[in-house]
Amino acid sequence: MALEQLINTLEQLNATHIKMITVAESKRDAIMDNGIDQLIVILNQESKLLKQIEQQEEARVSASYEFLQTKGIKSMLNLTLTELVRLVFDPEDKRKLLAVQVELSHHLGQLKELNQLNQKLIEQSLAFIDYSLDVLAIRPEQEATYQHPGDKHGSQGWSGLFDSRA
């Protein structure tokens, strides 16, 4: 019973991570399309899914402790799934637990890759924005001709389109 609850919790956690992958792909598309409004909606969805994952993770820990207690282990060890699999002796239950572990591990890796890609895309977007602002707000270089230091009436030769001092 406790093992079934643990497997069900892991399957729910896996399903939520699959939803997170879909959201991460949508986020990538929104970043590439510069869809700020769409990105805000996606971030709200992502926040809800993260809360759901947090609750499912608490349920997983609870189910793990309950499973350990059914095996006669009274301590509150925080064992990994690989370590928990070693405590399962029924071949069918072991197969189910291993299958969920492999699937969850695969989806977590996929989600990690998508998040890294999204982070790089955001960094590139910010670098482009920073470059664009620098181009628009070019500060005048020292003029090539001599100008007397006391002559402060010289013209300000702003060649940029945007005066960042304003």
Listed in sequence order, the residues at least 6 apart from 23 whose beta carbon sits closer than 8 Å to its beta carbon are 42, 45, 46, 49
- Of 44-53, 90-99, 123-132, 147-156, the range with the lowest mean pLDDT is 147-156
pLDDT tens profile 106-133:
999 999 999 999 999 999 988 988 888 8
**What confidence tens digit (pLDDT) does each residue in 6-41 have?**
999 999 999 999 999 999 999 999 999 988 899 999
**Does domain 2-136 fall into CATH 2.60.40.420?**
no
CA distance 1 to 67: 8
